[in-house]
Amino acid sequence: FRRTLGEHRQCRATACWGRWNSCVRLGDSRAPYAAATPPPAASSPEAIIAKGLDKLETILQHNQGENPVDFDYAFNLGYGQRQTSAHPLLAEIRTLLDDETKERAQASRPG
């Protein structure tokens, strides 16, 4: 995270992860899920988080990596929405990565 996210965003992402980790350690099975989101194919809390993190990892790699000049960052703004909106932690991290994606998209525009 440090390479791409600024200090403020990194602190927010770390805080999100800490909240999730506390729920898992305490065995809290009542972890909140986004009510408006249809349930993802994954059924256990761990599977839901794993699928969401997988999508977030892809976006993070695109934000950190060297991509072709004509790379379509806008695609990433819609990529994996269902999986990354399945839990508030994932949605909050997604917001941080989407901000980075928008910045990369703007910076990659010619002119």
DSSP string covering 50-105? HHHHHHHHHHHHHHHS---TT--HHHHHHTTHHHHTSSHHHHHHHHHHHHHHHHHH
Q: Rounded to 5 degrees, what are φ and ψ at 80? A: 65, 25
Determine contact, residues 13/90, Cβ cutoff 8 Å: no
Judge whether residue 65 has pLDDT over 50: yes
- The whole-model pTM stands at 0.64
Judge whether residue 8 has pLDDT over 80: no
Measure the CA–CA gap between 72 and 100, rounded to whole angstroms. 14
Determine contact, residues 34/91, Cβ cutoff 8 Å: yes
Looking at the chain, the whole-number percentage of residues with pLDDT higher than 70 is 61
